[in-house]
Amino acid sequence: MPELTSTPKLIICLLILSLYPISLKARPFILVLSQDDIKDSAASTDDESAADWDDFGDSESMTEENLDPGSWSPVFEPSIDPGAINGSYYITISKMMSAVTNGDVRVMEEATSEVESAAMEGDPHARSVLGFLYGMGMMRERNKGKAFLYHHFAAEGGNIQSKMAVAYTYLRQDMHDKAVKLYAELAEIAVNSFLISKDSPVIEPIRIHNGAEENKGALRKSRGEDDEAFQILEYQAQKGNAGAMYKIGLFYYFGLRGLRRDRTKALMWFSKAADKGEPQSMEFLGEIYARGAGVERNYTKALEWLTHAARQQLYSAYNGIGYLYVKGYGVEKKNYTKAKEYFEKAADNEEAGGHYNLGVMYYKGIGVKRDVKLACKYFLVAANAGHQKAFYQLAKMFHTGVGLKKNLHMATALYKLVAERGPWSSLSRWALESYLKGDVGKAFLLYSRMAELGYEVAQSNAAWILDKYGEGSMCMGESGFCTDAERHQCAHSLWWQASEQGNEHAALLIGDAYYYGRGTQRDYERAAEAYMHARSQSNAQAMFNLGYMHEHGQGLPLDLHLAKRYYDQALEVDPAAKLPVTLALTSLWIRKNNADSFLVRLIDALPEVYPRVEAWVENVFMEEGNVTILTLFVCLLTVLYLRERQRRNAVQAAGDVALPNQHNEHAAAPFN
């Protein structure tokens, strides 16, 4: 089979170029419910499982640092003092980061020993890190059993990231009854970190690669204050543009576009924009004062700012006002009637948060008669608009069987979707920041940590760094830098996990690994399984590969008809595959009609000849830029084919002419 992961150098390998990763992202989560999923009868109002549910969360919830104890944020966020939390633990983490940055094996071993000592003394956060090191095979023998054990005890001790790792382990083993309980707890923590007046923006981890190449487009937008677009925006803000002020405030508040999160700067820019009458900034000031994010909590000010925003027809602000009335914060007393009115105003103006909040009121029976079916409909409308809290409530309904038929598989998937928006997702920001600064070793370690929590993009990014940078990835193995075998094994494991979560490019690479024996034993059957997995996600290249394997009987039965079917499917899925599919179908035609010809033997010899010819082309053609020679080479193959065809036709024609002549000679003999 032609090489699918390196740059093609021969014209015959244009098929690779045309098919190279059509889609590199995992499939988005799509919620599809049928009428069968909705229960016909509402649950009774005294349902015990419903009584345990929260209603609107609480703005007085803990800070993000307390929501994610043991987080590495004190090492990366300048606003947090590591000494004020757990000095020795964070000193060790800082030492690990320094070791992978500088490629210092001695310091890494020293940090690992310190982590191990603290873990033996019962520190849950040290146990979490030690579980990570065993799982990745960093400075300790790779041992998934020990990794799970340390994460289990770390989670029991309160480490949230270990709880994510354990939940993901259960999910991979299809133990949904155990996974769903952990993901439910994690999703609840994540929801407590969301905004109160509007849905928090979904900050997707950046995919740093685009197949074999760096994803320069996405990375260009993530360079923080060094980004030219940000500098232009900042200039506009300094000149008094209120919209630009709001955007900069938003970037700093959430740590978007490669900026470090800075609530002080966010407050400054929101305040300036609000003074100029910018309504979204007013809403965020209400959010900041309600949460006490970087300022002293003040519900009266929160209500004032939200009211100012609502008066300018920013309908999401009605949700914040309604929330304050539900809780009785900043107002004389709780008033469910007024809260419902504000939520209805938001919903009437197609604000997803309004639908969500009305759903909560009807589900809990807050100020209204309880109606679970109506609540479910409100949640579905909000969820279809991408509202994360609505996904959370639907997950609970699937989990408990209240309002929706019990479905642990769906509940687990929805809980995981919400849980991945929790404070621990900051790992992605720090990893990207490190990568953009050229600190590949630190980026790999952070993406690896995130990968074991179940983030597909992190799994893909970590694997890509290993494949792209090799020794430059600063990958730490069992006793120093990773050997080639350790690096291949680690990349293979990460790609495999990403493929399980729908990353079709990862499935292709797994297939390639088994096909070529990269980092694992060559196994055509397992390669075919991986390509089948990618094909199920409508990947054209996988279809092409399956056609090739059927054509040559590698891991799949020799079947030219099935081969043609897969080639045709590749073209249907991706019209850009016309050239490679045409070449493949030509190969099939030659094979079918000229079974033992010179051309068939030439085609079959290409996979063995290709690496040597590729190196020759690299050294001769690409350095000298002599495209003419390449063209002549292709022409030579064409001439050989035409000459062979002409010779066969000539022989056949000669035979057809000879037979009548012989007949005539015999017939004329008697007359001589």
CB atoms within 10 A of CB 498: 28
Determine contact, residues 299/289, Cβ cutoff 8 Å: yes
Give the per-residue pLDDT at 606: 58
Q: Sorting pLDDT into bands at 50, 70 and 90, what band is 603?
A: low
Cβ-based burial of 565 (10 A; exposed 0-12, middle 13-18, buried ≥19): middle
CA within 13 Å, CB half, 198: 23
CA within 13 Å, CB half, 637: 14
Q: Sorting pLDDT into bands at 50, 70 and 90, what band is 629?
A: low
Give the per-residue pLDDT at 131: 97
Say which residue the tokens 């090492």 belong to. Answer: 75
Q: Are 338 and 372 part of one and the same domain? A: yes
SS3 481: strand
pTM: 0.76
Indicate if the pLDDT at residue 645 is higher than 60: yes
Q: Are 241 and 386 part of one and the same domain? A: yes
415 inside domain = no
Give the per-residue pLDDT at 657: 43
Give the per-residue pLDDT at 194: 77
Tokens of 533: 């997995």
Q: Are 321 and 360 part of one and the same domain? A: yes
577 inside domain = no
- Measured distance CA(541)–CA(535) in Å, rounded: 8
Provide the domain count of the chain.
3
- Which one, of 385, 312, 308, 386, lies nearest residue 321 by Cα? 308
Q: Sorting pLDDT into bands at 50, 70 and 90, what band is 517?
A: confident
On average, the pLDDT of the chain sits at: 81
Say which residue the tokens 């849905």 belong to. Answer: 199
Q: Output helix, strand, coil percentages for the chain, rounded to the nearest 5.
A: 70, 0, 30
Indicate if the pLDDT at residue 72 is higher than 50: yes
Determine contact, residues 390/397, Cβ cutoff 8 Å: no
643 inside domain = no
Q: Are 281 and 159 part of one and the same domain? A: no
Determine contact, residues 478/141, Cβ cutoff 8 Å: yes
Indicate if the pLDDT at residue 271 is higher than 50: yes
Residues 6+ apart with CB under 8 A from 60: 297
- Measured distance CA(127)–CA(149) in Å, rounded: 9
Give the per-residue pLDDT at 543: 92
Tokens of 409: 């598989």
Instruction: Name the helix (H) or strand (E) containing 477.
Output: strand 476-477
Among the residue ranges 19-28, 82-91, 529-538, 549-558, the one predicted with the least confidence is 19-28
Q: How far, rounded to the nearest angstrom, does the alpha carbon of residue 348 sit from its chain's CA centroid? A: 34
Determine contact, residues 434/442, Cβ cutoff 8 Å: yes
Say which residue, 91 or 8, is predicted with more confidence.
91
Give the per-residue pLDDT at 87: 80
Q: Are 179 and 124 part of one and the same domain? A: yes
3-state DSSP of 81-111: CCHHHHHHHHHHHHHHHHHHHHCCHHHHHHH
- Measured distance CA(204)–CA(83) in Å, rounded: 31
185 inside domain = yes
Residues 6+ apart with CB under 8 A from 113: none
* Relative orientation angle of helices 578-593 and 540-552, to the nearest 10 degrees: 10
Give the per-residue pLDDT at 46: 40
Q: Are 181 and 217 part of one and the same domain? A: no
Indicate if the pLDDT at residue 14 is higher than 50: no
Task: Give the tens place of pLDDT for each residue, 370-382.
Answer: 999 999 999 999 9
Give the per-residue pLDDT at 337: 94
Q: Are 229 and 364 part of one and the same domain? A: yes
Q: Sorting pLDDT into bands at 50, 70 and 90, what band is 643?
A: low
Determine contact, residues 222/206, Cβ cutoff 8 Å: yes
Determine contact, residues 535/543, Cβ cutoff 8 Å: yes
- Measured distance CA(55)–CA(425) in Å, rounded: 24
Task: Give the tens place of pLDDT for each residue, 472-481.
Answer: 888 999 999 9
Task: Give the tens place of pLDDT for each residue, 580-601.
Answer: 888 888 878 877 777 666 666 6
Among the residue ranges 80-89, 342-351, 475-484, the one predicted with the least confidence is 80-89
Tokens of 447: 């993406």
CA within 13 Å, CB half, 645: 10
Buried b (16+ CB within 10 A) or exposed e, 577-586: beebbebbbe
Indicate if the pLDDT at residue 161 is higher than 80: yes
Indicate if the pLDDT at residue 126 is higher than 60: yes
- Cα angle vertex 559, ends 554, 564, to 5°? 105
Give the per-residue pLDDT at 11: 28
Residues 6+ apart with CB under 8 A from 283: 197, 198, 305, 306, 309, 314, 316, 317, 320
SS3 480: strand
Which amino acid, residue 60?
E
200 inside domain = no
Which amino acid, residue 305?
W
Indicate if the pLDDT at residue 604 is higher than 50: yes
CB atoms within 10 A of CB 44: 11
Give the per-residue pLDDT at 593: 73
Of 376, 407, 438, the residue at which a domain comes to its end is 407
Of 165, 193, 221, the residue at which a domain comes to its end is 193
Averaged pLDDT for residues 615-644? 58
Give the per-residue pLDDT at 135: 96
Domain of 370: which CATH number?
1.25.40.10
Among the residue ranges 122-131, 199-208, 483-492, 574-583, the one predicted with the least confidence is 199-208
- Measured distance CA(317)–CA(340) in Å, rounded: 14
515 inside domain = no
Q: Are 244 and 371 part of one and the same domain? A: yes
CA distances from 191 to 47, 178, 263, 398, 422 (A): 23, 21, 20, 17, 7
Give the per-residue pLDDT at 207: 87
- Which one, of 364, 53, 345, lies nearest residue 188 by Cα? 53
CA distances from 26 to 207, 260, 496, 504 (A): 11, 27, 13, 7
262 inside domain = yes
Q: Sorting pLDDT into bands at 50, 70 and 90, what band is 44?
A: very low
Q: Are 107 and 183 part of one and the same domain? A: yes
Q: Which domain holds residue 333?
A: 209-407
511 inside domain = no
Q: Are 187 and 227 part of one and the same domain? A: no
Q: How far, rounded to the nearest angstrom, does the alpha carbon of residue 471 sit from its chain's CA centroid? A: 24
DSSP 206: P
SS3 476: strand
Q: Are 172 and 313 part of one and the same domain? A: no
Buried b (16+ CB within 10 A) or exposed e, 239-259: eebbebbbbbbbbbbbbbbbb
- Cα angle vertex 502, ends 501, 507, to 5°? 105
Rg of the chain over all Cα atoms, to the nearest angstrom: 31
Determine contact, residues 447/494, Cβ cutoff 8 Å: no
Q: Are 174 and 242 part of one and the same domain? A: no
Please list the residues that pair with 214 across neighbouring strands: 209
Indicate if the pLDDT at residue 607 is higher than 70: no
Indicate if the pLDDT at residue 470 is higher than 60: yes
Residues 6+ apart with CB under 8 A from 189: 67, 68, 160, 419, 422, 423
Tokens of 502: 């729908």
Among the residue ranges 105-119, 137-151, 515-529, the one predicted with the least confidence is 515-529
- Measured distance CA(313)–CA(141) in Å, rounded: 60
CA distances from 601 to 112, 387, 607, 642 (A): 56, 59, 11, 16
- Measured distance CA(586)–CA(604) in Å, rounded: 14
Of 168, 193, 218, the residue at which a domain comes to its end is 193
